[in-house]
Amino acid sequence: MKGCYCLIIHVKATTEIKIGKKLGKIKFEKGYYVYVGSAMNSLESRLNRHLSDEKKMHWHVDYLLKQSEIVEIIYNESTKKIECDLSEYISTKSKGITDFGCSDCECESHLYYFKTKKEAIECVLKAYDSIAMDCTYFKI
């Protein structure tokens, strides 16, 4: 199964987190973040990896997930990589964390802040609608 996904991540309290070597310490406000990703080899394995507490630190989001939790996942199954299309739409509705999760594309970010879970979810669903792509909503 191939596809793209949006993790809805809850940060319970404002905190600074060291994100890899290049990004360094970033201040994350209390609230919800949408992380946009893709898995063109195995979507199920990628999502299970994100949900796991036992993993080697590899992607920017791994560092964030050590001090936060995934509360929802919205994803699609497709061979068409729409990760940057989703990110572009979400960037028009929210402030992104510069250079987060987008080292392999031209996007400014793949992580976006929202004050509430409802705002984050609604934005992701509208992003999927904007590119006419069906998605599946998975509550943790």
Angle at 8 between CA 113 and CA 11, to 5 degrees: 60
pLDDT in tens, 100-111: 999 989 999 999
- DSSP one-letter string for 60-91: HHHHHHTTSEEEEEEEEE-SS--HHHHHHHHH
Flag whether pLDDT at 9 surpasses 90. Answer: yes
Taking 90 as the threshold, does the pLDDT of residue 138 lie above it?
no
Q: pLDDT tens digits for 25-84?
A: 999 999 999 999 999 999 999 999 999 999 999 999 999 999 999 999 999 999 999 999
Buried b (16+ CB within 10 A) or exposed e, 23-60: beebebeebbbbbbbbbeeebeebbebbeeeeeeeebb
Whole-prediction pTM: 0.96
- The answer to whether the CB of 45 falls within 8 A of the CB of 6 is no
The reported pLDDT for the residue numbered 21 is: 86
